[in-house]
Amino acid sequence: MRGSIFGKMFSMTTFGESHGPALGVVLDGVPSGLDFNLEDLQAMLDKRAPGRSKGVTARKEADKAEILSGVFENKTLGTPIAVIIRNTNQRSKDYDKLKDNYRPGHADRTYDLKYGIRDHRGGGRSSGRETVARVVAGYFASLVLPKVKVNTFISKLGPFECENIIKSFPQDLGTYNFGDPSKDQEIEKYLIDLKAKGDSVGGRISVNIENCPVGLGEPAFDKLKADLAKAVLSIGACVAFSFGAGVKMADMSGQEVSVDSANFGGIEGGISNGEMINLDLTFKPTSTVGANAKEGRHDPCILPRAVVVVESMVRVVLADHFLRQKAYEV
């Protein structure tokens, strides 16, 4: 009830401060008998890791997954799966100056107001490092629905913009997870300039879900769109959610909307209809700006690293609703 548990049938409980000993997740509800592959999990974690290029932070975080339970001889047991990731490079000295210093747009002040206490080192529990646990969950969720594609990419990064629906999704999204990888060099230059100026930038991440089973989502409160919205808005920097024609609907007439079922974004009455589900999520610019932002470890744009986190949260929602629906099927 302090908000660290997500999902009902496929549930994850996460924990960890950015500069404590470890972060991690316990998954209660992963079916038994699924094939586990540590390399695949590690590859998914690496997508979130920084330091892949000059445009994103150079901090070396060794996000190495350690399985503590629930997997035996590379099969899931059906029992809770616990995975931890040690914080190897804590450098808490760097953060001592943050103790009495509230950063705007961060949780520093609200945490102090809420708890009366805070681990001030690097954001503590509110740090983006918390999302590493979500990616672990996303990996196991992908085992539940292996045929579902959750194509996730940046469709807007500052001045760069591409379509939010990609028909032939590329195998390799490039360095920045931008929908059009041919722009990578330009993006890199843009981000380096931005960092040199101590500035940052936001953008939009889009999701194209293919092969989603029909019938996912529950009437009333647990509509698929509602649970997807909650899932992605629980990511720190996400500030807006839209599905199908979304915000454009405010400018459309009913007759225009009814022409193309894609406007409904694959969800009718809150329930998946088997068509492509597409989501558009706005992310705010990194809050750290000015002199601090010029230091090595700050990203001028969080979106490249957030892509796999978004994919993971979407996968968890789908796996959860899939298991829920399975319970009731005739």
Between 171 and 210, CB nearer to a second copy: 210
**Residue 239: other Cβ atoms inside 10 A:** 12
**Contact set for a second copy, span 96-155 (CB under 8 A):** 104-111, 113-119, 124-126, 130
Kindly state the helix (H) or strand (E) to which residue 208 belongs, with its residue range.
strand 203-210
Between 54 and 109, CB nearer to a second copy: 109
Sign (positive or negative) of CA dihedral 217, 238, 63, 86: negative
CB 26, min distance to a second copy, A: 5
Segment interacting with a second copy, rule: CB under 8 A, options 43-51, 170-178, 183-191, 287-295:
287-295
Tell me: is residue 284 an annotated ligand-binding position: yes
Structure tokens belonging to residue 100: 């009495």
Tell me: is residue 315 an annotated ligand-binding position: no
How many residues sit in the footprint of a second copy (CB under 8 A)? 133
Q: How far, in Å, CA of 52 to CA of 47, rounded?
A: 9
**Contact set for a second copy, span 232-251 (CB under 8 A):** 233-234, 236, 239-247, 249-251
CB 184, min distance to a second copy, A: 19
With binding defined as CB under 8 A, does residue 199 bind a second copy?
yes
With binding defined as CB under 8 A, does residue 181 bind a second copy?
no
Kindly state the helix (H) or strand (E) to which residue 308 belongs, with its residue range.
helix 303-328
Tell me: is residue 48 an annotated ligand-binding position: yes
Contacts of 158 (CB under 8 A, 6+ apart): 190, 194, 201, 202, 203, 301
Segment interacting with a second copy, rule: CB under 8 A, options 46-54, 169-177, 182-190, 277-285:
277-285
Between 50 and 266, CB nearer to a second copy: 266
**Contact set for a second copy, span 28-87 (CB under 8 A):** 28-29, 31-33, 66-70, 72, 75, 77-82, 84
Kindly state the helix (H) or strand (E) to which residue 115 belongs, with its residue range.
helix 108-115
Tell me: is residue 287 an annotated ligand-binding position: yes
Tell me: is residue 175 an annotated ligand-binding position: no
Structure tokens belonging to residue 131: 């999302």
Kindly state the helix (H) or strand (E) to which residue 131 belongs, with its residue range.
helix 131-144
Structure tokens belonging to residue 75: 């099969």
With binding defined as CB under 8 A, does residue 295 bind a second copy?
no
Instruction: Please answer whether residues 84 and 77 qualify as being in contact, where contact means their C-beta atoms are separated by less than 8 angstroms.
Output: no
Structure tokens belonging to residue 14: 């996460």
Tell me: is residue 142 an annotated ligand-binding position: no
Contacts of 175 (CB under 8 A, 6+ apart): 52, 53, 55, 181, 184, 188, 304
Q: Which of 150, 207, 212, 293 is in the footprint of a second copy by CB under 8 A? A: 293
With binding defined as CB under 8 A, does residue 255 bind a second copy?
yes
CB 173, min distance to a second copy, A: 19
Binding-site residue set: 48, 54, 125-127, 269, 284-288, 297
